[in-house]
Each structure stands twice: as C-alpha cells, then as structure tokens.
C-alpha cells in the first residue's frame, strides 16, 4: 500500500541563512505544528543555490511562502512572524 501524495503543498523560498530566512523556516514549522499538523507538505527552496527557480513563481523578495496546492496559488511575503496573517492567507480558498 503506497501513501497518496498530500493535496496541500507549501514552498518556502529562502536565501541561504539570512536572518529572515531562518526566522521564516522556524515560524512556518511552528505554525504548521501548532495549527495545521499534518495538513501540508512543505518544501524549502534555497534560491542562492538555484536562483533560476525564482522566476518560475515570480519570487522577488525573500523569504516568500507559496501555497501551491490547493489552487489558486497564494504568496505570503516576509518572515511569517504574524501567525494570524499566515493562517488567514493559507485558509482562503479563492
């Protein structure tokens, strides 16, 4: 029996270990663990390693969190320190 891929996916774009990138990683981990346990598959993409990927999702400022699934795609820019703002953005379907 194989596990089905999650239907909710978050991609966090960071720039190496800048303070905001580290803060965003820690905050996203905390928010998901606290409020959305098991709901999202999370990827962290380091744009310093692969800057070309920034164009694919039109990333300009770092850190940026992209909700790829479910559609529509949504972006949250910043270090994700405002839990409420993050949760509102993630739960908006349309």
Partner 1 sequence: MNISPEAIAELKRRLREAEDTIRAIREGEVDALVVGLEDRAEVFPIGGDVDAFRAFLDAMQPGAAAIDGEGRLLYANAVFAEMMGAPLETLRGRVVASLFDEAAAGVIAEVISGSEGCRSGLPLRLQAGSAPRDVLAAAAPLSLGTTRGVALTLTDLTERLRAEQLERSGRVAAAIIASAAEAVMVCDLAGIVTHANNAARAVFAGAPEGQPLAQIVPLEFVAPDAPCNMAEMLRRAMAGEAVQGLEARAPQGATAVDLLVSAAPLIVGEAEVAGCVVTLVDIGERKALERQQLLLMQELDHRVKNILAVVLSISRRTQRHTDGIEQFMGAFTGRIHALSATHNLLAEKSWAELTVGEILGAELAPFGLEGSGRVVLHDLDRAISPRAAVSLGMLFHELTTNAAKYGALRGDSGVITVSARRVAAPGGLVIVWKEQVSHAVTTPVKQGFGTAVIAQSMQHAPGGGTEVAFETDGLRCTIAVPGEDTL
Which spans of this chain sit near partner 1 (rule: CB under 8 A)? 15-23, 25-26, 29, 47-48, 51-52, 54-55, 58-64, 72, 75, 77-79, 81
Task: State in angstroms the smallest separation of the CB of 37 from partner 1.
Answer: 18
Contact yes or no for 73/66 (Cβ under 8 A): yes
Question: For residues 6 and 73, which CB has a smaller minimum distance to partner 1 in the complex?
Answer: 73
Question: For residues 40 and 62, which CB has a smaller minimum distance to partner 1 in the complex?
Answer: 62
CA distance 63 to 10: 13
Whose CA is closest to 76, among 35, 39, 18, 31? 31
Task: State in angstroms the smallest separation of the CB of 4 from partner 1.
Answer: 30
Task: State in angstroms the smallest separation of the CB of 1 from partner 1.
Answer: 33
Contact yes or no for 57/63 (Cβ under 8 A): no
């Amino acid at each position: 029996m194989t596990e089905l891929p999650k239907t909710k996916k978050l991609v966090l774009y960071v720039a190496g270990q800048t303070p905001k990138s580290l803060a965003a990683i820690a905050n996203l981990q905390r928010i998901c663990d606290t409020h959305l346990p098991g709901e999202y598959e999370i990827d962290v993409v380091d744009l310093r390693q692969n800057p070309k990927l920034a164009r694919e999702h039109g990333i300009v400022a770092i850190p940026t969190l992209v909700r790829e699934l479910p559609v529509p795609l949504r972006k949250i820019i910043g270090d994700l320190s405002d839990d409420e703002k993050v949760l509102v953005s993630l739960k908006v379907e349309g």
